[in-house]
């Protein structure tokens, strides 16, 4: 049974600081990091708090469910924490009315396909949530300048995820941010970067993912399905071309 009609966003990150995020917007979450006890989701860094702040700036009516899987240094000690986090969300999403999951974190990989992750335990969990109209948003990754090729980090590469890259203002207008990883549909792998957007705090593709999570949470208050939310965002998109002439949808 749902505890409230208010929409909730689960933020998988470093936690949330109740002194910087209005405690009235925070619900009890879960701590899977190496800091504090299992019920302590205080952010001793800044990343998760900034993500929550960006979401609330866009959708001030929603609540935040912090799920802490990395410590203040951004280190993931428990490699199973991500899957455990999604198992917990799947179990509690109806009670907490979680409609969006924001995983604004990424590893250092650059994959063009999710084939390698075909048997990863995260995939069926995200798929089940999506079938329950709970959207998962993830950052495409910030390693484009290092990899110098198309691809996305994990978990954004999973096709069940709404993946988000970053754009930047340049003298020539809006362009894909130099650091933002990206994957074009023309690669034919079945995976691609869903949206690009100018990031909120904490910047980069993390802040871009938080911005899209906030937009989706706002849409979830009046519309029913993930496909409807995506359609609404696509209607506001414009097209930019990169240096290779490829067209990308930006919000």
85: tokens are 């986090």
In 3D, which of 63, 83, 66, 74 has the Cα closest to residue 12?
Answer: 66
Pairing state of beta strands 238-241 and 247-250? antiparallel
111: tokens are 């994959």
Give per-residue burial for 177-192: e unless 16+ CB within 10 Å, then b.
bebbbbbbeeeebebb
15: tokens are 């936690």
Kindly list the distances between the CA atom of residue 158 and the CA atoms of 45, 66, 90, 121, 192, in Å, as whole numbers in the listed order.
28, 22, 17, 12, 9
Catalytic positions: 13, 47, 206
For 39, other C-beta atoms within 10 Å of its C-beta total 9
76: tokens are 């993931």
* Residue whose entry in the numeric block shows the structure tokens 């979830």: 220
Kindly list the distances between the CA atom of residue 230 and the CA atoms of 74, 75, 106, 218, in Å, as whole numbers in the listed order.
30, 32, 22, 12
* Residue whose entry in the numeric block shows the structure tokens 């949206």: 195
């Amino acid at each position: 049974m749902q505890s409230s009609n208010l929409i909730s966003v689960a933020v998988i990150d470093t936690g949330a600081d109740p002194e910087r995020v209005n405690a009235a917007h925070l619900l009890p979450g879960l701590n899977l990091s190496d800091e504090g006890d299992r019920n302590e989701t205080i952010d001793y860094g800044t990343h998760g708090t900034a993500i929550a702040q960006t979401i609330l700036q866009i959708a001030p009516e929603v609540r935040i469910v912090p799920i802490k899987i990395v410590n203040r240094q951004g280190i993931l000690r428990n490699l199973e924490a991500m899957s455990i986090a999604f198992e917990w969300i799947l179990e509690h999403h109806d009670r907490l009315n979680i409609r969006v999951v924001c995983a604004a974190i990424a590893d250092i990989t650059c994959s063009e396909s999710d084939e390698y992750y075909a048997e990863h335990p995260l995939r069926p969990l995200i798929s089940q949530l999506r079938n329950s109209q709970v959207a998962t948003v993830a950052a495409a990754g910030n390693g484009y300048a290092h990899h110098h090729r198309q691809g996305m980090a994990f978990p954004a590469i999973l096709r069940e995820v709404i993946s988000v890259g970053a754009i930047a203002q340049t003298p020539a207008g809006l362009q894909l941010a130099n650091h933002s990883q990206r994957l074009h549909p023309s690669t034919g792998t079945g995976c691609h970067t869903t949206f690009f957007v100018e990031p909120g705090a904490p910047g980069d593709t993390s802040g871009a993912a938080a911005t899209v999570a906030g937009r989706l949470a706002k849409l979830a208050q009046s519309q029913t399905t993930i496909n409807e939310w995506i359609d609404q965002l696509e209607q506001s998109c414009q097209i930019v071309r990169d240096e290779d002439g490829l067209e990308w949808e930006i919000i």
